[in-house]
Amino acid sequence: MDKKIVFIMGAGHSGSTLLGLILGSHSRGFGLGEVVKLGKMLNKPAQTESQLCFVCQGKCEFWDERVNLDVLRRYFSRSRVTRYLAQRRRDLFDYFFDWTEADVLVDFSKQVGWIKPQMKQLQRVSHITPYVVYITRDGRAVTNSRLRKYPDSNMGREAIRWRKNVEQMNRFYRGLPAHQKLHVAYERLATQPGVVIQEVCEWLQIPYEPDMLNYWQHEHHLGPGNRGTASLIIRHQKMQTERDFEVDAPIANERHKGHYEKMGLAIKLDLRWQEELTEEQVQTFEKLAGETNRPFITNVTAETS
Ligand SMILES: [Zn+2]
């Protein structure tokens, strides 16, 4: 199998971690998390190595044992020359293919500023093909999530921030060759995950594995990125361990099952913005980013599944 890298591009809070975890659950895939953030982690003086993995608590068999951190430090060195020389010698992702033994790597970095130079580098590497999957979501949902996370911000600022980010991604996406790009709407992924992931696998020319959708049951060693989703996986794995001691307690199992659903591990559509945004906020968004958001408006409801 040829080596493939999937760059997930999208605004934060658009489902990129969910998509990355699903793709990373393929038997030949590996989710790296947000590779762009490795530099910040590696250059922190007090950082212990095990903290590179957002899923493992304590020692990580991937980031601590398989990854060569000295190599990684050269790629994310503060010295431009060191970075340049490392990249000239061998592509960063070539190492990751060795370390993971996977055929499909998934980089959750999201930003054009990272993906663009990586794509350029990879033009020189004949045995690796880069792909960009652009995940989009209704901007009102995205800005609502941002406002929940940053209550001191305001809709005006968030709407402009979202619009500028999306316009930059649209421009980059338009310039990519057709076979190397795919658009995924979060709302469709969340309501028809099987259909969407099957399309993604076809595009990547890898066999579709229905079990990928149960992403929380697979092993992940995510580098830096979305702590929220990673902590859900940790909680699930902890509960799994507890559950292993309760084989004769079906009632307890049922209770846990309900809990998993509440934790939101199963893929489901999040439309909280419809209740949480005020009429005024919706109008502000419309005025500042409504035009850009037009293609991302879908008619899905939470009941569709
Ligand atoms: Zn790990």
Question: How many A from CA of 39 to the centre of ligand 1?
Answer: 18
Phi first, then psi, for residue 282 (nearest 5°) are -60, -40
Question: How many A from CA of 237 to the centre of ligand 1?
Answer: 13
Q: What is the pLDDT of residue 268?
A: 82
Question: How many A from CA of 22 to the centre of ligand 1?
Answer: 17
Bridge-based pairing of strands 181-185 and 104-110 is: unpaired
Q: What is the pLDDT of residue 91?
A: 92
User: Is 79 a member of any domain?
Assistant: yes
Question: How many A from CA of 218 to the centre of ligand 1?
Answer: 12
User: Is 305 a member of any domain?
Assistant: no
Question: How many A from CA of 35 to the centre of ligand 1?
Answer: 15
User: Is 301 a member of any domain?
Assistant: no
Question: CATH number for the domain including 232?
Answer: 3.40.50.300
Question: How many A from CA of 132 to the centre of ligand 1?
Answer: 25
Successive 10-residue mean pLDDT values, the chain, 305 residues: 94 93 96 91 65 80 92 93 92 96 97 96 93 98 95 97 98 97 96 96 97 90 73 65 41 43 67 95 98 92 52
Q: What is the pLDDT of residue 41?
A: 82
| 3-state DSSP assignment of residue 272 | coil
- What is the CB-side half-sphere exposure of residue 229 using CA atoms within 13 A? 25
> Cα–Cα distance between 189 and 296 in angstroms, integer?
13
Question: How many A from CA of 186 to the centre of ligand 1?
Answer: 27
- The pair of three-digit structure tokens given for residue 50, joined into one six-digit string: 């095990």
User: Is 303 a member of any domain?
Assistant: no
Q: How far is CA 142 from CA 214, 215, 274, in A?
A: 24, 23, 12
User: Is 304 a member of any domain?
Assistant: no
Total number of domains in the chain: 1
Please say whether the beta carbons of 222 and 33 come within 8 A.
yes
